[in-house]
Amino acid sequence: MIVSFIVGMVELIIGGILDLVAADLHVTIGVAGFLITIFSLVFAIAGPMLLVLTANIERKKLTLISLFIFLVGNIVTVLSTTYQAVFIGRVISALSGALLIILCLVMAPTLVSPKYRGRAIGLVSMGVSGSLVLGVPLGLVLGNSFGWRAPFILISFLTILSIIGVFFFMDRVEPKPSIPLKAQLATLKGRKITFAHFTTFLFLAGHTTLYAYLTPFLKSVMGVSGTWVSTIYLIFGIAAVSGGGIGGTLADIFGHKRTIISVIITFICALFIIPYITFSLSLFLFVMVIWGVMSWAISPAMQSYLIEASPETSDIQQSLSNSSLHFGIAFGSFIGGLVVEKVSVVHNATVGGILVALSLVTAVISIYDNLFSKDKHKLNRA
């Protein structure tokens, strides 16, 4: 859980301190935002590949090696005085972090007795969600008080703590045969599965287009001070984590297909409304909470949908869904940076809303694929 917490914190923290990073490294906000893009892009590509390449290495040993490399990446970031050096540090952190998250999710069920496996996976997931609720606001406070490198010093300390904990308290975990990348990608031949992953990609891209630049949006558009920025991130984090539970409940009551469509439509409305309510902080906070809840509410329903759509390859689909998610974060932060550079951060919400609207199209194509196929078959027969 601690490992997943620090990896989640490293990925998300840059968005909250973009202005500090940009000012210190003498780059624009948009260019600083590419530090999020490169992390998520490397994370999405490296995870499945590294899992295959390291398939024969004992898991405790591999975890320790990955944690050490992750520590090196963060130390490089802390000691960097140029944008290029920070960029390299982010790549090192992303490569090792991607493997660490997958290792945590794969190992967690094997470290406990069968009746506690679900709880073990839940604890690992809580690490990622905890980084959103506690890690990012804490990093913002440290960054505003002691400089943008302070959060990465904390992360380095937590990484050392994790290395010690794994070394002394984790048992050996023998590797299991991995599924080749070719076999994983072969599952994308079906339109239903392919468009489901496109939905995740576009949904997260739309979300990140604004979320990655939320700090400059709050400061330049809303006129919010540093202390309030940390508070808003905390409120957003609580709403987002709550969204996972709410989304799961909705999926159980109304079904995952209806939940996916409903969440996307609500999310679109929230993003399109935001530029028109910046005159009122209280109104913005209300809509932001809806945005936060919806941003994670889709996850349980989408996971259930993928399991139903392809039960025989459900494990592979979870891995590919994770890659789609991080590709979306990378693309959204890239697009958001272009909007900030070329136009204004006030338009990021609208551009994000357009991307989420496209995810509604891909969701409809995926969910109603059988209906479309039947109509096409009838037309061909006619």
Domains of the chain in start order, with CATH, are 1-178 (1.20.1250.20), 182-382 (1.20.1250.20)
Average pLDDT over residues 334-356: 94
Give the pLDDT of residue 317. Answer: 75
Give the pLDDT of residue 378. Answer: 52
Statement: residue 375 has pLDDT above 70? no
User: How does pLDDT run across 219-239, given as a tens digit for each residue?
Assistant: 999 998 777 888 999 899 889
Query: Alpha-carbon distance 262 to 298, whole Å?
Result: 9
Residue located via tokens 């040993």: 61
Q: What's the predicted TM-score (pTM) here?
A: 0.83
User: How does pLDDT run across 244-284, given as a tens digit for each residue?
Assistant: 788 888 888 888 899 999 999 999 999 999 999 999 999 99
Contact 191, 369 (CB under 8 A): yes
Contact 239, 292 (CB under 8 A): yes
DSSP annotation of 112: S
Give the pLDDT of residue 360. Answer: 97
Interior/surface letters 313-336, b for 16+ CB within 10 angstroms, e for the rest: beebbebbbbbbbbbbbbbbbbbb
Please calculate the CA angle 258-261-266 and round it to the nearest 5 degrees: 120
End-to-end CA gap in the chain:
58
- DSSP secondary structure of 346-365: GGHHHHHHHHHHHHHHHHHH
User: How does pLDDT run across 300-339, given as a tens digit for each residue?
Assistant: 888 788 878 777 666 677 677 888 888 999 999 999 999 9
DSSP annotation of 310: -
Query: Alpha-carbon distance 265 to 364, whole Å?
Result: 12
Residues 6+ apart with CB under 8 A from 379: none
Query: Alpha-carbon distance 108 to 118, whole Å?
Result: 9
Please calculate the CA angle 167-119-171 and round it to the nearest 5 degrees: 20
pLDDT band of 84, cuts 50, 70, 90: very high
Query: Alpha-carbon distance 236 to 239, whole Å?
Result: 5
What's at 272, amino acid-wise? Answer: F
pLDDT band of 137, cuts 50, 70, 90: confident
Contact 265, 353 (CB under 8 A): no
Contact 243, 295 (CB under 8 A): yes
